[in-house]
Amino acid sequence: MSEHTAHGVHVASLRLLVGVMIALMIGTWLTVSVTHYDFGFLNIWIGLAIATTKAILVGLYFMHLRWDKPFNAFVFISAFAFLALFIGIALIDTQHYQDVLIPGWPVE
Amino acid sequence: MAAHHHEHGHDPSVAHHFESAEQQRQSTKLGMWVFLATEILFFGGLFVAYTVYRVNHPEVFVFGAYFLDTALGALNTVVLIFSSFTIAWAVRAAQLGQLRLLRWLIIATMACAFVFMGVKYVEYSAKWKHGLLWAGSYNPHLEHGDEPAAGHGEAEAPSSTTGAPEAGAPADPDRSTIAPAAEGPHGLAAPAVAADPHAMPVEPANARVFFSIYFMMTGLHGIHVLAGIAAMLWLLRCLGRGDFDGGRFTKVDMVALYWHVVDIIWIYLFLLLYLID
Amino acid sequence: MATGPDRSNYLTTGRGVLSWLFTLDHKRIGVMYLVAITTSFFLGGVFALLVRTELLTPGQTIMTADAYNKMFTLHGAVMIFLFIIPGIPAALGNFVLPLMLGAKDVALPRLNLTSFWFWMIGAVFALVSIIVGAVDTGWTFYTPYSTTTGTAVISMTLGVFILGFSSIFTGLNFIVTIHKMRPEGMTWFRMPLFLWGLYSTAIIQVLATPVLGITLLLLVAERALGIGIFDPTLGGDPVLFQHFFWFYSHPAVYIMILPAMGVISELVSVFSGKHIFGYRFIAWSSIAIALLSFLVWGHHMFTSGQSGITNMIFSALTFSVAIPSAVKVFNWLATMYKGSIRLAAPMLYVLSFLFLFAIGGLTGLFLGALSTDIHLHDTYFVVAHFHYVMFGGTVIAFLGGLHYWWPKMFGRMYSERWAQLAALLVFVGFNLTFFTQFVMGSHGMPRRYYNYVEEFTTLHQASTVGSYVLALGFFIMAGYLLHSLVRGAPAPANPWGSATLEWETTSPPPAGNFDVELLAGDPYDLDALRYDPGVGGWVRKDPRSILVAAGGAG
């Protein structure tokens, strides 16, 4: 499954790339079809889980992270970690002051 | 297979300040990954705005997503995934020195990007036609024939057919899977739409915010797709110049990494904007 | 190393303006940045003097209230975005980083030049904004005022947006350079501490600046199209803008201070004639500050309608930043302890820094505490605190670094006597300007006000006089530095007795940085050097100890 050029660079096999693409297509089909069922609050989490699996597949195989220096993956993942921090705190705060905000919301 | 021209003396493709081609490649690659991290945080701001508004006002998103065409969104997802595959294959082709194949794969990726933008154009113009624009220009006007109230009681989404709830099956405003937030007064279009309760969800207050977020997110993503097209054209020019002879593939690799991130972001946008309810 | 004066160096390799504007040499890019940021500093300084002059008397002194609003906004925007953020990293850092590593250049020289060009383009946008009507929002561009005011907000925010990319490119370049360009022997813990400072700065530049980018893009979209995300009349949330803005702008103050702390770490060891104390603690505390800087942004929003729970979280986290900062200060003091301190101009700035930064840092704790912040928020106390950290910290360290590396950059020595006078004037002028503002602020004088009650007149006037003294100090500095370029004595390779690698090459360095490959040893092993009166500078006791070819120190 794994080839290398003369320079010792990893080359992904075509079979693997096709396999990942098919997995991504199935994932897309799954994301769409799962919205036809009502799992309550779980819907969004199921959707996010599928999307994240797809993103991980792209990262590991299409973007070669599986064979790359771990630090590159670390850089990329830390961006998501800081984003999660940003989303988390902004959410905690806005949720708390929302009730103060809404009655005063002018419409038009 | 690759014809490895082993360079005589100093490799002209290695800049003077690097010791080796490998050091140069690894430096460029780390630089690219750091850049991609900045891209994630750049888009990240919009995801923060999205999350804050969606958690606090889910009804706005249930309403807004009704006007997005899931079929077109899914089509674009498939197109982008396929283009991710072709550019990943292109990296392989460049590594193995298959330059003719490389050219075709870059062209295929670019073609996918154009298809994506074409579909986006169809979607945007439908929104434009119906005034479903960002908050400042939000002025929904459903044209005659499209307007559910003027039809035969058949629910039909004004800007789409396939993505909306099936014809005849009324979209119940209470079907939101998330508890509605505090009630606000109704917006502009509410009375007209409310005339036919079977048509679509009743417009909640500030439904316009959804379209602001929709246009910012897909617009910024679209700009990245255009930048991707420019990068592919650049790759073709480099290919013509012989930059990829001898299995040198760094440039293809870098553009591919960028393109995959554009794909990853779209995977989330499709889920978060189109697939609500 | 021993070379004649007629030898070509990076300044003489290639002539003409174009050879500078399209250079890929990190040293030339550093010098261009230096010219660019000092020009901005001058511009921002003029705005500051106008503001201070207006405040000489209550009511109108020299300008209208509207003009005053624009002046303090421009002072803030120019100083922050054009001067202090690129300041140390892009000017001094660019010049010194590869030299300190023993590398030939930064990893991505083309990106480095792009960064400078982006800075220029951003500066043009900012200038256009100033010419077509300026901005009166304050440098923070708070919504909803910034989306409704009739001033040239779009071109200013676009300018800042572009400047942000310039900053990202610099940070990205430094990260890659430090990871990939360290030659053999230069391990992470043999890196001079300035590089640790630059590295942690780069982390922030890369992770925080994109958020500023999207914030400003949303603001531009808001004004141009009415996107409404921050506009309450369109269903938006103006407090969210502050979250966005401070998610960048709080870490950004560490973009300003971390490289300054790096400079101080270098100078304090050299001019105390002692090995730096607690190397690893200083190194790690830089990284710790960089990471903590992302966790405290809400302390700017204590009175903005932020929720109580968030206020408490942010207040607690804010105090934690004091720990790594104090670790640094104590290590610097321990380095000086029992050292043979030379009071050369760079060291005068180190002492100023320690004094002023201590005040600036401790008053930060007053503002981080929720109850006192309610009283002090939006008063001159905040202005004074900010200037003690940013001017007393960053600018002072920048000046120290400039005086320290000046001989390396231009191959000339400046007049030490004039330099000491200027350092003294800057110190006195600064304290007179801003200590009075602590007093006014704690008595309730609000910031950004055009008018004030009679009681504050004396303090305001003292503050204004202080700003004139400060300006005088800078004029003297500009005078002797420019004079040194023409008449200064030629600088030896190592005028200060430093052990870091940039002093192993000639002053100014050749275009390729080093003539021989060097093997890094301990960057603070000052005992390996001795003063050579014949050279007029310091030389290695064993010159072969750092040569790769000779087998090196190992």
- C379 and C291 within one domain: no
Tell me whether C303 touches chain A (CB under 8 Å): no
| Residue in chain B nearest A31 by alpha carbon | B271
B89 contacts A14? CB cut-off 8 A: yes
The per-residue pLDDT of chain C, averaged, comes to 93
Domain count, chain A: 2
- C426 and C320 within one domain: no
Look up residue C336 and give its two tokens: 């000086």
pLDDT of residue A37: 86
- A57 and A5 within one domain: yes
Question: Looking only at Cα atoms, what is the longest distance across chain A?
Answer: 68
> Which domain does C310 fall in, by range?
108-342
Residue B73 Cα distances to A80, B68, C332, angstroms: 24, 8, 59
pLDDT digits (tens, 9 = 90+) for C250-283: 999 999 999 999 999 999 999 999 999 999 999 9
Tell me the shortest Cα–Cα distance from B257 to chain C, in angstroms. 17
Tell me which amino acid residue A71 is: F
pLDDT digits (tens, 9 = 90+) for C394-434: 999 999 999 999 999 999 999 999 999 999 999 999 999 99
- C297 and C193 within one domain: yes
Domain count, chain C: 3
Look up residue A2 and give its two tokens: 């794994």
Tell me the shortest Cα–Cα distance from A72 to chain B, in angstroms. 6
- C543 and C473 within one domain: no
pLDDT confidence band for C135 (50 / 70 / 90) = very high
Contacts for B95 with CB less than 8 Å, ≥ 6 apart = A5, A9, A11, B2, B247, B249
> Token pair 């001033």 is at which residue?
C151
Here the CATH number for the domain that contains residue B236 is: 1.20.120.80
pLDDT of residue C234: 85
| Residue in chain B nearest C178 by alpha carbon | B27
- A64 and A11 within one domain: yes
- A52 and A14 within one domain: yes
| Residue in chain B nearest A2 by alpha carbon | B92
CA–CA dist A90, C34 (Å, integer): 37
Last residue of a domain, one of C313, C342, C371: C342
Tell me whether A37 touches chain C (CB under 8 Å): no
> Which domain does B222 fall in, by range?
31-136+208-274
Residues of B in contact with A41 (CB under 8 A): 177-178
C180 contacts B212? CB cut-off 8 A: no
> Which domain does A30 fall in, by range?
1-68
Tell me which amino acid residue C279 is: Y
% of chain C with per-residue pLDDT over 90: 87
Bigger pLDDT: B194 vs B116: B116
Q: CA end-to-end span of chain B, whole Å?
A: 51
Tell me the shortest Cα–Cα distance from B93 to chain C, in angstroms. 26
Inter-chain CB pairs, B–C, below 8 Å: 117
- C460 and C518 within one domain: no
Burial class (CB in 10 A: 0-12, 13-18, 19+), C465: middle
Residue B109 Cα distances to A20, B82, B181, angstroms: 17, 8, 43
- A63 and A11 within one domain: yes
ipTM above 0.90, yes or no: yes
- A34 and A7 within one domain: yes
Q: Are C209 and C250 in contact (CB under 8 A)?
A: no
Residue B77 Cα distances to B36, B84, C494, angstroms: 20, 10, 61
- A87 and A35 within one domain: no
Q: Are C315 and C303 in contact (CB under 8 A)?
A: no
- C255 and C173 within one domain: yes
- C505 and C533 within one domain: yes
CA–CA dist C266, C62 (Å, integer): 44
Tell me the shortest Cα–Cα distance from C226 to chain A, in angstroms. 14
Taking the CA atoms of chain A, what radius of gyration do you get in angstroms? 20
- A94 and A56 within one domain: no
- Count the residues in chain A: 108
**Would you call A12 helix, strand, or coil by DSSP?**
strand
C336 domain residue, yes or no = yes
- A35 and A4 within one domain: yes
For C41-105, the three-class secondary structure string (H helix, E strand, C coil) is: HHHHHHHHHHHHHHCCCCCCCCCCHHHHHHHHHHHHHHHHHHHHHHHHHHHHHHHHHHHHHCCCC
- C513 and C479 within one domain: no
The 10 Å Cβ neighbour count of residue A78 is: 16
Determine which helix (DSSP H) or strand (DSSP E) holds C154, and give its type and residue range: helix C153-180
Look up residue A70 and give its two tokens: 């771990």
- C503 and C414 within one domain: no
Nearest to A28 among B78, B95, B276 (CB): B78
- C509 and C485 within one domain: no
Tell me whether A71 touches chain C (CB under 8 Å): yes
C78 domain residue, yes or no = no
Those of residues 71-90 in B touching chain A at CB distance below 8 A are 74, 77-78, 81-82, 84-85, 87-89
Look up residue A36 and give its two tokens: 């036809």
CA C110 to chain centre: 23
For B254: left if phi > 0, alpha if psi spans -120 to 50, otherwise beta; the answer is alpha
Domain count, chain B: 1
pLDDT digits (tens, 9 = 90+) for B27-44: 999 999 999 999 999 999
C247 domain residue, yes or no = yes
Tell me the shortest Cα–Cα distance from C168 to chain B, in angstroms. 8
- C501 and C475 within one domain: no
Q: Are C514 and C408 in contact (CB under 8 A)?
A: no
C184 domain residue, yes or no = yes
pLDDT digits (tens, 9 = 90+) for A76-89: 999 999 999 999 99
Mutate to test the interface with B, among C167, C180, C230 (most CBs of B within 10 A): C180
C99 domain residue, yes or no = no
Neighbours of chain A (3+ CB pairs under 8 A): B, C
Nearest to B137 among C104, C213, C225 (CB): C225
The 10 Å Cβ neighbour count of residue C516 is: 13
pLDDT digits (tens, 9 = 90+) for C83-128: 999 999 999 999 999 999 999 999 999 999 999 999 999 999 999 9
pLDDT confidence band for A2 (50 / 70 / 90) = low
- C500 and C487 within one domain: no
